[in-house]
Amino acid sequence: MIIIMDHHADDDKIEAVIIRLKKAGFQIHLSRGVERAIIGAIGDKTRLGDIGLEALPGVERVVPILQPYKLASRTFHEEGTVIKIGGLQIGGDAVHVAAGPCAVESREQVLETAEIVKKAGATILRGGAFKPRSSPYSFQGLEEEGLKFLAEARDLTGLLIVTEVMDVRAVPMIADYADILQIGARNMQNFSLLREVAKVDKPVLLKRGPSATVEEWLMAAEYIMSGGNYNVILCERGIKSFENYTRNTLDLTAVPIVKYLSHLPVIVDPSHAIGKWRFVPSMAKAAVAAGADGLLVEVHPNPPEALCDGPQSLTPANFMKMMSELKQVAAAMGRRIL
């Protein structure tokens, strides 16, 4: 449940409520809005009766959160969350584009792609150094060497870095290099991994599992938030369906639905959803029109030679074209790119 404090509640009153709740065994998450403070209390609500919360000075209302996800719910945080990271604001007016290769393949490939996507208006560089591949015989990533190339690209271009973490043991090392930690679709319900990234002071980009419902996805976000990391960016990347012309089916309905249910920023990855580069720009534009806060798009300097996901990667020229079209869609939506 949440305890909505009134306008005049000062720090002492807020603290007094928190102390009572903690004594009754509740876990506390305080959110200070522009207007008022909201105290999120998670625990056994049958113990509420003993506290007499509504009679405490400064308490305006006590509201139950009916959804199983609490901290991720819009009831807990009415305004949309804006995640501030390295000068960027994700969930604000700007639509941020994270672009780059599926996998980091070489220093040259990463540096070249970084220059291209930066010039076209991307603000974040993507690239996997640890790759979740369906086959153990496919290229698995350059690991720490790849992270070093990404960090070098950041130093040269000023782009932020998002890269995937697949394993609990690799979290500290990846967190040393990356600005945003990506949890891949296959790991959305890897609860040990969710708990581990919850302890890191870096935003987490949480991809939707290929067969996860919106509720399961928000519950995965709840794992990260309840562990102390509130900076979660949700990423729709396509779900399994009977359709097999595309790699997955892009569920764009998830964008307005998640924004209604949750305050967290939502971005869209049309590349993994569709699997075919030709259709990526159309769905990127549709995603921005649907209210997405950003995009994750695969770009490769030479897609036919890519070690991973070449068929869905945009060439530099196609990426440039998509970005200039996206600027117009963003403007029509009262937003901007860059």
User: By the criterion CB under 5 A, which residues form the site for Mn ion?
Assistant: 102, 309
Quote the least distance from Cβ 82 to Mn ion, whole Å: 28
Quote the least distance from Cβ 34 to ligand PEP, whole Å: 35
Q: Which stretches does DSSP call E strand in 17-93? A: 27-32, 37-42, 59-63, 83-85, 88-90
Rounded to 5 degrees, φ, ψ at 245 are -70, -40
Question: Helix axis angle, 254-261 relative to 214-226, nearest 10°?
Answer: 40
Interaction between residue 185 and ligand PEP (CB under 6 A): yes
Per the CB < 8 A criterion, the answer to whether 24 and 2 are in contact is no
Quote the least distance from Cβ 277 to Mn ion, whole Å: 12
Phi-psi sector, 58: left (phi>0), alpha (psi -120 to 50), beta? left
Per the CB < 8 A criterion, the answer to whether 285 and 325 are in contact is yes
Closest CB to ligand PEP among 269 and 293? 269
Please identify which residue in 154, 207, 247, 285 interacts with ligand PEP, judged by CB under 6 A.
207
Residue nearest ligand PEP by beta-carbon distance: 184
Please identify which residue in 100, 184, 294, 301 interacts with ligand PEP, judged by CB under 6 A.
184
The piece of 17-25, 38-46, 184-192, 196-204 that touches ligand PEP (CB under 6 A) is 184-192
159-176 in b/e form (b: 16+ CB < 10 A) is bbbbbbbbeeebbeebbe
Quote the least distance from Cβ 116 to ligand PEP, whole Å: 18
How far apart, in whole angstroms, are the C-alpha atoms of residue 14 and residue 38?
9
Footprint on residues 211-230 left by ligand PEP (CB under 6 A)? none
SS3 content of the chain, % helix, strand, coil (to 5): 40, 20, 40
Closest CB to Mn ion among 236 and 309? 309
Quote the least distance from Cβ 308 to Mn ion, whole Å: 6
**Exposed/middle/buried for 249, CB within 10 Å: 0-12, 13-18, 19+?**
middle
Quote the least distance from Cβ 164 to ligand PEP, whole Å: 6
Residue ranges in 180-279 assigned as alpha helix (H): 191-197, 214-226, 254-261, 270-274
Interaction between residue 237 and ligand PEP (CB under 6 A): yes
Residue nearest Mn ion by beta-carbon distance: 102
Quote the least distance from Cβ 128 to ligand PEP, whole Å: 5
For the four alpha carbons of 256, 262, 265 and 266, in that order, the dihedral sign comes to negative
From the list ligand PEP, Mn ion, none, partner contacted by residue 185 (C-beta under 5 to 8 A by kind): ligand PEP
Please identify which residue in 40, 121, 128, 146 interacts with ligand PEP, judged by CB under 6 A.
128
Quote the least distance from Cβ 9 to ligand PEP, whole Å: 43
Per the CB < 8 A criterion, the answer to whether 165 and 202 are in contact is no
Closest CB to Mn ion among 184 and 203? 184
The piece of 82-90, 183-191, 215-223, 322-330 that touches ligand PEP (CB under 6 A) is 183-191
Quote the least distance from Cβ 310 to Mn ion, whole Å: 10
Please identify which residue in 21, 38, 41, 102 interacts with ligand PEP, judged by CB under 6 A.
102
Interaction between residue 132 and ligand PEP (CB under 6 A): yes
Segment holding 288, helix H or strand E = helix 280-289
Segment holding 266, helix H or strand E = strand 266-268
From 123, 131, 265, 125, select the one nearest 203 (Cα to Cα): 265
From the list Mn ion, ligand PEP, none, partner contacted by residue 132 (C-beta under 5 to 8 A by kind): ligand PEP
Closest CB to Mn ion among 222 and 309? 309
Footprint on residues 261-280 left by ligand PEP (CB under 6 A)? 269, 272
Q: What is the DSSP letter of 323?
A: H
Binding site for ligand PEP (CB under 6 A): 102, 128, 132, 184-186, 207, 237, 269, 272
